[in-house]
Each structure stands twice: as structure tokens, then as C-alpha cells.
A = this chain, B = another copy of it.
Amino acid sequence: MSAAAAYEALLAHAKETTLLASTAALLAWDQEVCMPKGAGDIRAEQLALLARLQHQRATDPRVGEWLAAAEADPYVQQDGDRAANVRGLRRDYDRATKLPAQLVAELAATESKAQQVWAEARSASNFHQFRPWLDRIVVLQQQKADCLKQPGQSRWDALADLYEPGMCAADLRALFAPLRERLVELRQRLTRGKAPDDAFSRIEIDEQKQEAFVRAVVTAMGFDFRRGRIDRSTHPFCTGTGGDVRLTTRFHKDNVLDALGSTMHEGGHGLYEQGLEPQHFGTPLGEAVSLGVHESQSRLWENHVGRSEGFWQWCWPIAEQHLGSACAQHSAASVHRAANVVAPGLIRVEADEATYDLHVMVRFELEQDLISGELGVAGVPERWNGLYREYLGLQVPDDRSGCLQDVHWSCGLFGYFPTYTLGNLYAAQIAAAAEKALGGLEALFARGNFATLREWLRRNVHRHGRRHTPAELCKLVTGAPLSSTAFLTHLERKLLPIYGLA
């Protein structure tokens, strides 16, 4: 087989693998949005079969042969597109083939059961129910890391690299330490200011009205409903591919700002997916580069757009139109302030923009020590509670609102949490670069012009797919390596005036 034929075979194979993966994603979406409750067993079997077929394909020895042939081809080496695709597929293939089938099966079986035990333990608020399962998961994750890790990588680094290529604990510690200090300082400083009135976020509003409102906003953002849809689910998420992106959101009868934030967040993920180049569908160039960059797109729309003053100037008449009398006695300015209340709490997924990352850092500390073996699983609650006191100034009353709150570890997601904070930092740095390039973004938002920002993101971030590493992309888009400067500047510039501390 010629090198050119090997490259074509590689891409055709990758595309079919993507079609299988997108089929599984649709089944998972259906499970959360449409599936009748009684169909859970069959759905689990369908998904397990698709996972097995995907793993078979991903580890097909022919892929290794095609890769070797393509990598040796000078034409591929010189062609940017081809080289990027081959690099991406090499990464995927090596990761898939490094794990023995026996370990993959044991991870899947253990994590499936552990999720159920975790849910029961959380509901009973009893970490010790979950402890033996977490013990086992940590051991399996250590084994997984040992299979994956490259020379010089720690176990944790090997796991984290699955979610954010190139991410390592040392870099994150360097990034997080000063950030944590400044966030703790900001949190303390804000307590001396005047907290905005957030009554608006507690008004009872009919869910159908909320839905019409958030649909109007996500439509204005430019989410393309010909290539996507939005539904409800218990936990909001975004799934699917460029041609068929499925968002979900949620509604509480008395928290329209939560519905708006969730929708803009998932809408940001959706715009990234819709901004990938259709002609690269099924290949690395047609895929999102990392979880951190994906999260930057959701946080950018949720926080840098949706919590800005300019946005609320445009949005307020839309809110009045859809929400009616709920808007009486409020204004664009008062709701902009209400959307920016900082109130440290125990639950990560309910955290405000200024304290969210402190939650992430608690988990980052813990999981490094769990994976390295420095911390035994039995010590998790005490360590967790200590860090919440230190970072957030809060006493954790029980395991349910403490170390049992997140599903991640029960699913074997170690090395994942920091991508949330990377998302926030990338978002701020990218938003600052967009402001520098485009000028006066808030004035555009105030006129309902979101297209200028969206198209800039599409050109500068989305369309690249996996052409660059996340670090390269950051440098290319923002002109600098990632730091926390833009994020802290953004928070302080926005929050201090709102709290009367400017």
C-alpha cells in the first residue's frame, strides 16, 4: 500500500470511528432527554456494544501500519493538514493500544458499579460506603497511569494529558498558586463591600416563559438550529457533532438566571462544535482540541458575555417581553448586578465566577495526592474539609455537601477537574484578545451584535480543530502563554465597582 493510500485508509477508518462515536453520543443524549425509564437495561447494552466496537476499531493493528506508512511519507510531513491529522491519530492510537483489554474491561465494570454506589453513598451522606470502591478505582487509575505515562511524566500527568494534551501538575501548580492567593484575597475583600440585591434570581417564573427567553438568547448568540436543538435534562450538557449539536438546559421555577447561565454555557460549547470545519468531520482537524479550550468557549459566553453590562442592556427588553411582570421593579443595571453576586458556597456546580476555581483547586490537591499514594482514601473527607476551610472559609457539615458531591471520581475521571479552571483562564485571555482585536465588545453586545465576536472566535479558535496543541493555540490567539492575569483583571474590574469598592 502506498503512503497516500495509507493516509486515505487512515482517514476513512477515523471517520467511521467518529460515526460510531456520534451514534453512541446520540444514544446517550436520548437517554437523558427522551428515553422511557424502563429502557435503561437495553440502553446500557447498546452503549456497551458500541463502546466495544469503538475500542476494537481504535486498536485495529492496521491503524498502526497505516500510521507508520503515513508518518514516513515526506508529502504528509510537509502538508500541514495531513501532518496534523496524522499527529492526532497517532496520539489516539497510542493511547488506545497502551491499555490492556483486561484493564479496560475492569475499569469499565468497576466504574459502572462505583457510580451506583457513589449515588447511594451521597444520598446517605456517608463517605465510608463509597470508600472501598474509591480505593479500588484509585488502584486501577494508578495502573492505567503506569500504562500511559511517558518518560518524565508522573502518574497524575499521564491521566490529565487524556483531557488536556500537554497539561502537567507542575505547570498547573505554578499557574494556580498565585491565582488562589488572589482569589482568596478577592473573596475576603468583597465581604467588606455591599452585596447586590439578587431578589431577581428568586422570583417564581413559569418554565415555559423561561424557555422562550433563553431560546431567544441562544438564537441571538448565533446557535444554528438547523444544525442543532435544545432540550431539557437534569444536568445540562452539550453533545454531538458540527452537523447535529444537541444542547440541554434546565429550569427551576425560581431561578431564571441559572437557566440563562446554563443555556449560554452550553450554547458556547455548541458554537465551538458548530464552528469546526465540516470538511474535516471525523478527523482530528474536525475535532475540538481539548476540554480546557472547550470549556473556555462555554465560560466566555456564560461569563464574559452573559454577565456583562452591555449584554444586559440588550437583553433586558427581551427579558421583559418573555418574562413579563417578573421584571417589574428590576432593570438592566440591577439584574446585571444580581447576575454577579459572589457568595462562597459548598457546592461547585452552584459556585459564582469568583469562587468557582477554589472548588477546583481543592479537588486538584486531593487527586494528585491520591494518585501518587501520599493520601490514603480514608483521609479524603478530612483533607477535603480542611481545604474548604482554607480556600473558601467554609465548614463542611457533611459528606453529601463535601467530598461526595461530584460524580467524577466514581467514573474514573482523575486529572479532569483542572480543565474547568483552564477554561476560565483561557476564556478571559481569549476575551481580552478579542477585545483588543475588535474593540468595544460590550457596545456591540448592547446592540445585540454577537456575530462579530462569534465569527472572530470561529476564525481564531473553532476552525483550527486539533491543528495545534492547546498551548500553541493559546499563543496564536492571544499572543502569550496562558496566565491568570486576564482572568483576575476581568474579575476585579467587574466585581469591585458592583460591590462599591472601586
Complex Cα distance A36/B41, Å? 28
Q: Say if the beta carbon of A38 comes within 8 Å of chain B.
A: yes
Q: Are B225 and A36 in contact (CB under 8 A)?
A: yes
Q: Bound complex: CA of A126 vs CA of B53, how far in Å?
A: 45
Q: Which residues of B contact A49 (CB under 8 A)?
A: 16, 19-20, 23
* CB within 8 Å for A226 and B27 given contacts A43-B244, A46-B22, A53-B53: no
CB distance from A354 to the nearest CB of B (A): 37
Q: Which of A188-246 contact B (CB under 8 A)?
A: 224-229, 241, 243-244
Indicate whether A93 reaches chain B with its CB closer than 8 angstroms.
no
**B38:A224 contact, CB within 8 angstroms:** yes
Q: Are A26 and B30 in contact (CB under 8 A)?
A: yes
In which size bucket is the chain A interface? 20 to 34
Q: Is the CB of B34 within 8 A of A23?
A: no
What B residues does A184 contact at CB under 8 A?
none
User: Do the beta carbons of B42 and A243 come within 8 Å of each other?
Assistant: yes
- Residues of B close to A384: CB separation below 8 A: none
Task: Report which of B26, B50, B226 forms a contact with A36, defined as CB distance below 8 A.
Answer: B226
Q: Could you tell me which residues of chain A, from 19 to 65, have a CB within 8 Å of some CB in chain B?
A: 19-20, 22-23, 26-27, 30, 34-39, 41-43, 45-46, 49-50, 53
- Complex alpha-carbon distance, A228 and B241, angstroms: 27
Residue of B nearest to A20 (CB): B49
Q: Is the CB of A23 within 8 A of B46?
A: yes
A137 to chain B, nearest CB (A): 27
Is A281 an interface residue when CB atoms closer than 8 A count as contact?
Answer: yes
Contact A243 B30 (CB under 8 A): no
**What chain B residues lie within 8 Å of A281 (beta carbons)?**
42
Q: Are A241's CB and B42's CB within 8 A?
A: yes
Contacting residues, chain B, for A27 (C-beta < 8 A): 23, 26
**A241 and B39 alpha carbons, distance in the complex (Å):** 9
Contact between chains at B226 and A35 (CB < 8 Å): no
Report the separation of the CA atoms of residues A43 and B42 in the bound assembly, to the nearest whole angstrom. 22
A42 nearest in chain B by CB position: B243
Residues of B within 8 A of A241 (CB): 42
Q: How far is the CA of A244 from the CA of B182 in the complex (A)?
A: 52
B contact residues around A38 at 8 Å (CB): 224, 226-227, 243-244
Q: How far is the CA of A432 from the CA of B335 in the complex (A)?
A: 68
Which residues of chain B are near A37, meaning CB under 8 Å? Answer: 226
Which residue from chain B places its CB closest to the CB of A17 in the assembled complex? B49
Q: What residues of chain B lie closer than 8 Å to A228, measured between beta carbons?
A: 36
Closest B residue by C-beta to A229:
B36
Query: Quick one: closest B residue to A34, CB to CB?
Result: B229
Residues of B within 8 A of A26 (CB): 26-27, 30
B20, B35, B227, B244: the one contacting A244 at CB < 8 Å is B35
Q: Which 3 A-B pairs have the closest CB atoms?
A: A39-B244, A38-B227, A38-B226
Question: In the complex, what residues of B have CB within 8 A of residue A19's CB?
Answer: 42, 45-46, 49
CB A239 to nearest CB in B, in angstroms, measures: 13
